[in-house]
């Protein structure tokens, strides 16, 4: 339909007159000490104005803005919602023995219907407003992401990789007790990359299915690394505009992966201790994203379950992480530990990161801006600035001086709506 120019001008002028002077914002958070996630120092007496799911503005001191809902932060800290860079939603390795709650499409659907809403809500209540799931069952994880995005299920915004790209064969997570369950699991969580053509086809399938970031495993089911297939996989991901990161990777293969263009890591490269830094320093220098997913090891060791091989594996990962952080890798806040009860996520991850010597500001940025930018490739999340998606939390205390404040989340706003209010 075409509108005559004069009429169009009149219509738009009327729209401005109707909307501009009378519209109140949706939410104003007043009297906040604002840690905005940009790297700047916190500012006191901040007002955060939220409208249509976005940050409309940040004003210091008095504001003339009005809103449907005013939340007085009482001088407490307001910061961007937390983003967990690595958590599998369908697995439970936390229980002993580990539980695989889905062994068929029917049980996966039932799990989403009966269990998942409670689990996701629990993560949201901890201030986790986004979560990256690397490896979960397709198509169920794609459906779940859509159900959360539409508001049908309340929970953190999900970013997903879907199945993992790997050499064909059994994936270690497929511990279903029957052959049928194991076959179902492998089919749902992995896509093969045995040849360059197959690697490109699998990447194309993931991208057309809607994966946000692609994830691969380079240690399973092969004697030596199939370099031509991995090169094709990474090239195809980039050709289609997607980032691709490693889940499991031998440290000795990192130089090749850097040459091929890998975008980061969601576990530290393991299996080999890079004692002289020749393998991993370059990845650090490039500032590639790297989480410290050491929580499981530390738990096993603390509970006395770890054998000498476990401890050696832990020490290797820890050494490689420290080396890469020292060289400049970007720390990411990530728990992994599928099945970990949500209230334990923040204390576990901050404990691991502090134990590695990271300062509180680095840890806060690792859970906000840096995971959004460096892993997810999103510049509209992870900071509190005009135009950003309005995901923010109110915490009791100053997490810059006391990380335990992050466990005292009082209010969660996600997508510009009040999602949790514990006050």
Give whichever of 296 and 325 is closer to Zn ion, judged by the CB atom. Answer: 296
HSE value, Cβ hemisphere, 13 Å, CA-based, for 42: 21
Q: How far is the CB of 40 from Zn ion (least distance, A)?
A: 33
Q: How far is the CB of 55 from Zn ion (least distance, A)?
A: 32
Interatomic CA distance for residues 195 and 284, integer angstroms: 30
Interatomic CA distance for residues 360 and 87, integer angstroms: 22
Report the candidate in 292, 323, 326, 298 with the shortest Cα–Cα distance to residue 310: 298
Tokens representing 263?
């975008």
Interatomic CA distance for residues 3 and 318, integer angstroms: 65
Interatomic CA distance for residues 268 and 252, integer angstroms: 12
Give whichever of 172 and 404 is closer to Zn ion, judged by the CB atom. Answer: 172
Q: How far is the CB of 247 from Zn ion (least distance, A)?
A: 6
Q: How far is the CB of 132 from Zn ion (least distance, A)?
A: 10
Q: Could you give the residue ranges of the DSSP H alpha helices within 210-294?
A: 227-239, 254-260, 281-285
Give whichever of 173 and 323 is closer to Zn ion, judged by the CB atom. Answer: 173
Q: Could you give the residue ranges of the DSSP H alpha helices within 210-341?
A: 227-239, 254-260, 281-285, 295-302, 308-327
Enumerate the β-bridge partners of residue 69: 27
User: What is the total count of residues that contact Zn ion (CB under 5 A)?
Assistant: 1
Strand 409-414 relative to strand 392-395: parallel, antiparallel, unpaired? antiparallel
Q: Which of residues 299-338 bind Zn ion (CB under 5 A)?
A: 336
Q: How far is the CB of 337 from Zn ion (least distance, A)?
A: 9
Give whichever of 47 and 84 is closer to Zn ion, judged by the CB atom. Answer: 84
Cis upstream peptide for 97 (omega within 30°): yes
Give whichever of 164 and 193 is closer to Zn ion, judged by the CB atom. Answer: 164
Q: How far is the CB of 249 from Zn ion (least distance, A)?
A: 12
Residues, the chain: 423
Give whichever of 288 and 384 is closer to Zn ion, judged by the CB atom. Answer: 288
Give whichever of 274 and 336 is closer to Zn ion, judged by the CB atom. Answer: 336
Residue 165 has a CB neighbour count (10 Å cut-off) of: 31
Q: How far is the CB of 195 from Zn ion (least distance, A)?
A: 26
Q: Which of residues 334-373 bind Zn ion (CB under 5 A)?
A: 336
Q: How far is the CB of 127 from Zn ion (least distance, A)?
A: 22
Give whichever of 172 and 341 is closer to Zn ion, judged by the CB atom. Answer: 172
Report the candidate in 238, 263, 235 with the shortest Cα–Cα distance to residue 249: 263
Enumerate the β-bridge partners of residue 250: 270
The residues that touch Zn ion, with contacts defined as CB under 5 A, are: 336
């Amino acid at each position: 339909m075409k509108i005559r120019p004069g009429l169009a001008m009149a219509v738009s002028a009327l729209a401005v007159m109707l909307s501009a002077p009378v519209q109140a914002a949706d939410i104003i958070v007043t009297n906040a000490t604002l840690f905005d996630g940009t790297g700047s120092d916190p500012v006191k007496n901040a007002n955060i104005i939220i409208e249509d799911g976005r940050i409309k503005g940040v004003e210091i001191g008095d504001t003339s803005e009005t809103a449907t809902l005013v939340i007085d932060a009482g001088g407490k800290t307001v910061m961007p919602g937390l983003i967990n860079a690595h958590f599998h939603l369908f697995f439970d390795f936390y229980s002993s023995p580990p539980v695989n709650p889905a062994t068929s499409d029917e049980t996966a659907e039932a799990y989403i219907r009966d269990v998942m809403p409670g689990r996701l809500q629990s993560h949201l209540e901890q201030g986790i407003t986004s979560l990256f799931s690397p490896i979960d069952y397709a198509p169920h994880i794609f459906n779940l992401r859509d159900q959360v995005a539409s508001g049908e299920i309340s929970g953190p915004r999900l970013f997903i990789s879907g199945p993992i790209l790997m050499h064909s064969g059994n994936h270690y997570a497929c511990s279903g007790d029957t052959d049928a369950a194991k076959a179902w699991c492998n089919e749902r969580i992995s896509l093969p990359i045995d040849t360059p053509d197959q690697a490109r086809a699998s990447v194309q399938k993931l991208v057309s299915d809607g994966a946000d970031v692609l994830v691969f495993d380079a240690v399973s089911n092969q004697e030596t690394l199939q370099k031509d297939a991995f090169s094709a996989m990474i090239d195809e991901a980039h050709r289609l505009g997607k980032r691709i990161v490693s889940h499991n990777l031998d440290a000795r293969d990192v130089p090749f992966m850097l040459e091929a263009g890998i975008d980061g890591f969601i576990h530290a490269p393991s299996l080999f201790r890079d004692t002289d830094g020749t393998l991993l320093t370059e990845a650090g220098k490039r500032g590639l994203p790297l989480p410290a997913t050491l929580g499981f090891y530390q738990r096993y060791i603390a509970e006395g379950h770890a054998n000498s091989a476990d401890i050696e594996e832990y020490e290797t990962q820890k050494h490689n992480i420290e080396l890469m952080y020292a060289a400049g890798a970007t720390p990411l806040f990530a728990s992994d530990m599928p099945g970990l009860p949500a209230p334990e996520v923040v204390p576990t991850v901050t404990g691991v990161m502090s134990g590695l010597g990271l300062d509180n500001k680095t840890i806060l940025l690792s859970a906000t801006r840096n995971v959004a930018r460096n892993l997810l490739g999103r510049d509209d999340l992870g900071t509190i600035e005009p135009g950003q998606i309005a995901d923010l939390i109110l915490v009791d205390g100053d997490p810059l001086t006391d990380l335990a404040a992050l466990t005292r989340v009082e209010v969660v706003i996600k997508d510009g709506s009040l999602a949790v209010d514990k006050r």
